[in-house]
């Protein structure tokens, strides 16, 4: 069984300002804002939802392929994926473009100013879902609007079950778009804020959404997560963490756990706990693809957290 993960691949340039933005931004002058921040700390990380999910699925020894578009500057990221055993067969380079990039500046209060350049990601609809690759499960995660709509339609037409993860791409879609995507999806994964936004944008209630899919998964950060399937609500406890270092990318790690559990045909109680632990392992490390573990170590930690063997 193999998963096809449609979504962005991006460079995350993360900078830290050793002060507070509020000390340098005059509220009465925001209409003519012109500020500069010295950022002595800078990291360039490999990221993007598609790349992050594929990386985490590989840690769990699941077979998954990211699908998306990248730019002329993708070389270092390509080497990274190769070294980690993540296939690049469904990544397409768009000549004359940059790989998608996020430039994130944080201050000492954890406020953030982010600029995002979509670059090659804007052309993700150029890559079609392969129908002869033995794909058994899919995922549509944040990407270009056209790419997400196309890939969801192609999964649906091919009869390939998939997770719809709107994430930060939610504002790209109209109510009609979102309802169509919900109807095409097999499962939906959102955080609690995105869930409220999804209900508001579509006008659908919790019961109406869950009636249209096999399961709705709502993550709630440190409070764990909820899985709504049929007429059941399954509460998933959070996994214990040694220290909270960086929450960025935890949602992608969680979704990789969902894919892994679904590919293994496990029950929802176990799938949710796998996802929870995958997210916990990520939060203990800076960046979205710097954490690592073996499947054996993951199984041991799972038993220690939840009291039974995986």
Residue 146 belongs to domain with CATH number: 3.40.1190.20
Q: Is residue 132 part of a domain?
A: yes
Task: Report whether pLDDT(34) > 90.
Answer: no
Q: How confident is the model at residue 150 (pLDDT cuts 50, 70, 90)?
A: very high
Range of the domain at 293: 2-19+41-302
pLDDT value of residue 41:
86
Q: How confident is the model at residue 24 (pLDDT cuts 50, 70, 90)?
A: confident
Q: Is residue 25 part of a domain?
A: no
pLDDT value of residue 30:
76
Q: Is residue 53 part of a domain?
A: yes
- C-alpha–C-alpha distance, residues 259 and 249, integer Å: 16
pLDDT value of residue 129:
96
Q: Is residue 250 part of a domain?
A: yes
- C-alpha–C-alpha distance, residues 117 and 103, integer Å: 8
Host H or E run for residue 303:
helix 295-306
As a whole number, the mean pLDDT across the chain is 95
Mean pLDDT of 38-64: 95
Task: Report whether pLDDT(110) > 80.
Answer: no
pLDDT in tens, 251-281: 999 999 999 999 999 999 999 999 999 999 9
Mean pLDDT of 206-233: 96
Q: Across the strands, what pairs with 140?
A: 6, 164
Q: Is residue 36 part of a domain?
A: no
With CA atoms as reference, report the closest residue to 288 among 171, 141, 146.
141
pLDDT value of residue 215:
98
Q: Is residue 211 part of a domain?
A: yes
Mean pLDDT of 194-204: 97
Q: Is residue 254 part of a domain?
A: yes
How many domains would you assign to the chain?
1
Q: Is residue 56 part of a domain?
A: yes
Mean pLDDT of 21-44: 86
């Amino acid at each position: 069984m193999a998963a096809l993960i449609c979504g962005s691949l991006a460079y995350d340039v993360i900078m830290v300002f050793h002060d507070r933005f509020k000390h340098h931004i005059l509220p009465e002058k925001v209409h003519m804002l012109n500020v500069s921040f010295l950022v002595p700390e800078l990291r360039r990380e490999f990221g993007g939802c598609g790349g992050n999910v594929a990386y985490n699925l590989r840690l769990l020894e699941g077979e998954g392929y990211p699908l998306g578009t990248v730019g002329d500057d993708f070389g270092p990221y390509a080497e990274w994926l190769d070294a980690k055993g993540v296939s690049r067969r469904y990544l397409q380079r768009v000549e004359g473009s940059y790989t998608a990039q996020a430039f994130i500046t944080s201050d000492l209060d954890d406020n953030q100013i982010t600029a995002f350049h979509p670059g090659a990601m804007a052309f993700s609809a150029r890559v079609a879902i392969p129908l002869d690759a033995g794909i058994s499960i899919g995922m549509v995660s944040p990407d270009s609007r056209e790419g997400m709509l196309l890939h969801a339609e192609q999964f649906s037409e091919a009869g390939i079950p998939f997770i719809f993860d709107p994430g930060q791409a939610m504002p790209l879609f109209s109510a009609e778009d979102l309802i169509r995507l919900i109807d095409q999806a097999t499962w939906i994964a959102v955080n609690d804020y995105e869930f409220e936004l999804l209900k508001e944008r579509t006008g659908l209630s919790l019961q109406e959404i869950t009636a249209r899919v096999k399961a709705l998964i709502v993550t709630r950060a440190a409070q764990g997560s909820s899985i709504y399937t049929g007429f059941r609500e399954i509460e998933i406890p959070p996994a214990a963490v040694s220290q909270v270092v960086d929450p960025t990318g935890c949602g992608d790690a969680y979704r990789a756990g969902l894919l892994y559990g679904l590919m293994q045909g496990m029950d929802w109680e176990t799938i949710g706990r796998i996802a929870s632990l995958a997210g916990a392992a990520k939060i203990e490390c800076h960046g979205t693809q710097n954490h690592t573990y073996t499947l054996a170590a993951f199984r041991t930690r799972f038993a220690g957290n939840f009291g039974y063997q995986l």
